[in-house]
Amino acid sequence: MNNNVSNPAPADNEAILGILNNSEAMLKRIYLAYFPMVLQLVITNNGNEDDAKDIYQEAIIVLYNKVRAGNFELSSKLKTFIYSVCRRLWLKRLNQMSRYGGDIHDLQEYLPVEEDIANHEEKDIQFSKMAGALGLLGEPCKTIIEDFYIKDRSMQEICEKFGYTNADNAKTQKYKCLQRLKKLFFQQK
């Protein structure tokens, strides 16, 4: 069903409020409203739809982090911001793939967003380091850590899930796992 053409963009202040309130519905509205623009940008500049998806999602993450950190100024339009971030990210990607053969074909004006992208990249590195460390951790440690620290499950639940008879044993196991995870995390480059 092609309903993308008729996705009116939410008003900027409305959108920001939605982001701050963690509204899934607003996220969806924003996402659907601006994806076509980014897809067009990427496709007209040597990319495909998967490239567009990757950089668009990154840009949405950048936007969310910025808004939640209270750094988003309403003076700049949401659309322009998303476009600028995507443009910057795509230029970077093109350079990495050595596919960048001169100037990018622009669809609209853009803002300097280097600082936002630098912040994002810093966070991105942390994220992939954590993913790597968790990947190396192995079971059952990984699940215990995820359940307790990320999904906020109680120790009681975890005990039952893994069949620990003694809650103290489970706790000790959890701390050991956490120690190992820290070690793995900081060992990574």
Partner 1 sequence: MSDIELIAIVERYLNGEMNADERIRFEMLRRENVEVDNTVKEHQEFTSRLKQYGERLEFENLLNDIHNEIDVQALKDEFIHHPSLIVRLWRNHHSKISVAASIAIFAVLGTLFLTGYLKTQKQETDVINLKKEIAQVKHTNDVISKSINTLNTRSKVVAPSNYHGTGTAFAISSDGYLVTNFHVINGADSVFIQNADGTSAYHAKVISTDPANDIAVLKVTDASFKTFGALPYGFKKAKSDLGEDVYTYGYSKDDGFYSRGYISSGNGFKGDSVKYQLAMDVDFGNSGGPLLDAKGNVIAIISSKQAHTDGAYAIKSKYLFKAIQAISPDSLKSDKIILNSKSKFANLGRTQQLNKLQNYVFMVKVYN
- The contact set with partner 1 (CB under 8 A) reads 1-5, 24, 27-28, 31-32, 35-36, 39-40, 43-44, 46, 48-49, 53, 57, 60-61, 64, 123, 126-127, 130-131, 134, 145-146, 149-151, 171-172, 175-176, 178-179, 182, 185
149 phi/psi in degrees, rounded to 5: -90, -25
Residue (67 or 75) nearer to partner 1, CB: 67
Residue (75 or 118) nearer to partner 1, CB: 118
Residue (3 or 75) nearer to partner 1, CB: 3
Residue (16 or 112) nearer to partner 1, CB: 16
141 phi/psi in degrees, rounded to 5: -55, -45
The DSSP string of 76-109 is S-HHHHHHHHHHHHHHHHHHHTT---S----SS-
CB of 88 to partner 1, least distance (A): 19
CB of 160 to partner 1, least distance (A): 20
- The amino acid that residue 130 corresponds to is M
CB of 115 to partner 1, least distance (A): 20
